[in-house]
Structure 1
C-alpha cells in the first residue's frame, strides 16, 4: 500500500511538473495572471463571443483578462443581417456573462467593408420573410489563367439590383449605429467605430481609402459621420479607429502608417469625436518592432490614446491581419516558441514604456485552438490552456 502511494505521487508530480515545451516552469499556479501583472498600467483583453466555451475556457477568460472583445457577433452582418432584423441573442448573452464575472466589454465593430450585409447598399430590400437565398447555377471549373476578381468587383457582384443613393445608405448606417451602440450604452466601455478603411499597397501620400463599400457609396466623410453618431448614441464610450499594418513604415513615415496619419489628422480637423487608434498587432517572428514603437509615439503626438487591439505573434509563417498570408510549416520546432517568447517580451517592454498612452492590450483569441490563426500557434496558451514560454515572457516584461 505504501509503495502504491509512493508510485502514484511520483507519477502525479512528474505530470504536473512537465510541459510540452520543456522550458521550465510556466505553470500559472505559481505565476501572476496577466491582468494582475499589468494592473494599473493598461487593461489586458481577449476576444471571443463566449459561446460554446468549456468551463475551463470561461474560467481562463475571467481569471486572466480585464476585458473581452466580441470576435464576430457584433460585426454588422451577424448582428444586422436584414434591414428589418437584428440578432441580439449572442451579444446580449456575452455582455451579461461579462457583467456577472467582472469582465468589461469592448464593442467591435460599427463600420466595416467586410462582414456587412449587401442590403445596406441596395436600393430596394425585401422583408425578412420575403428573403430567399439567390439561385445559383452549377459551377464549372475555374480557369486558372483567368484574372482574380478584385475586392471591389466581388463587392459589387454581391449587390442585387440598383445601388442605394448616398442619402439612403447614410440613413441606414445611422440607424444601425444608433440602435446597436445605443442598446449597449453603459454596458460597453468603447467601440471600434470604423475598422480597416485603408487599403494595402499605398505609398503613403494619400489616405488610400478602399474603393468600394461605404467609400464607394458615400465617400471619405462616412468616417467622420460614424464617429459623430456613435458619440450621440453613447456619450461616455471611448471611440477608436482600428486597422492592421498601420504601424508599418512608421520609422520612415511612409506606406500604410503615413496614410493612417493623414486619415487621423483629417478626422480630428473635421471634429470627429475620436478617442484613440487601435493597432491590431497581427505580427510574426520577424516583425519590425521599431515601427511598432514609433507608431505609438506618432499617434500619441496627435493627442490620441492607443490600444493594441488584436494581438497575436505567429510561431510559424507570417501574419499581417489579411487573409491568404503564408501559413508556414505546421510542424513547429521548439526554438520557434522561444523566439516567439522573445518577441512577445520585447513588445510588452515597448507597451510598458508607453503605458501612459496605452489603454488596452487585447489578445485575439483565448488559446492556439481558439484563434483565427489556428495552426500558427500565435497566442500565449496552447489548446489545453497550458501556458507557453511566451506567457512567462509577458509576465516577466511587466516588471520592466
Structure 2
C-alpha cells in the first residue's frame, strides 16, 4: 500500500484538546460566580423594569442621603437653641431673635422612592387587628363594674353647658376662653358627651378617647383626678352642705366614690406616662366616666384649661391669656406653648414654628408646615374659632353670659 499522510495522531491530539477545553468550560459554568461578579451577572439577566427600578432607587437614595444630612444639621440647631432658651429662662434672662432658628427647615423635594416591580416574597404576616379605642358605653360599664358608679347625666346638653359656664367662671376662666376654645375643639357643635370621631353618629368611629367640650383624653382625666381630686372633693362637699337631705345623701355617696377614684389615680407617681398606664386599664376607663357627670364633669372640663392658666401665672404671665394662646398651650404642652405666648408680636412674625417641634412631629404636621411662623399659626387658630361662631353650640354658650 502506498504511503499516505498520517493524520491520525494529529486528529487525536486536536480532538483531545477540544474535549479538555469543553470540559473546562462546563466546569467553569458549574462553579458559582465570584462575589465580585455576582452583581454584574444579575444586572446582565435583569428585566428592563428591574434595571430601571434599580437606577431610580439609586437616584432616590442619593437624594435622600443629601437631604437627611442637611436636615440633621438643621434639627440639631433647633435642639441646641431650645436648650439655650430653657437655660436663659431658668436664669430669668430675656429672650431675643437670636435665641431661635430663623430659617425654615429643609423639606425633601427629591424623587419618590420607587416601587420594586418584582418584590421578593417575605414571610406571610397575619393581619394585625385594629387597636380598640374604648367609647362612652365602655366608660359607663367600667365605672359601674369597678366603682359601682353611674354619672348623674343632664336632661339636656344646655343644662351641662350652664353648669360648665358657672363652674368655669367661678374658677377663673373668661368668657372668651370658654366659648372660643370650645369652638376650636368641637367646631362649635360639640356636646358634653361627644367623643373624638363622633362614634355615636352614623358613619362615625372613635379616633381617640377625647370626650366633651375640651376633649379630655382618658389620661387627662386620670391626671386631673390625681392632681386636683382633693379640690374637687372640697367643692362637692361645700355644695352638699346646702342641699336638702335626699340630694345631700346622693352627693355624699358620689363624694365617697370620687375619693376612691382619687386614691386609684394617686397610686402611681405623678407623671404623665404613669397616668397613661392607669388610663388604659378598665379602672381608668371608669374614672373617665366622670366627664359625663353633671357635678364633676364641669370641674374636669374647667381644670383641663385652668392648669395652663395657672402655669402661665406661676411663670410670670399675669395678664389674661387669649383663647388662642390658651389653646396653643393646651395643644403643645404648657412649656412649649408659653414660649410662643410670651413672644413679642414682632418675633411671632419671623420665628418659624419648627422651633417648637421635634423633627418627626413637624414633618407629619401639615398645619405647622403650611402656617410656618408663630404668627401664622395663631392666625389659623383664631380663624377656626371665628368660623365656628355661627354654630348652634356656640350660640347656646354665648346665650349663657
TM-score, shorter chain, exceeding 0.5: no
More helix per residue: 2
More strand per residue: 1
The higher radius of gyration belongs to 2
TM tier, smaller: under 0.3
Q: How high is the TM-score relative to the length of structure 2?
A: 0.23
Q: How high is the TM-score relative to the length of structure 1?
A: 0.23
* Higher relative contact order, chain-length normalized (CA < 8 Å, sep 6+): 2
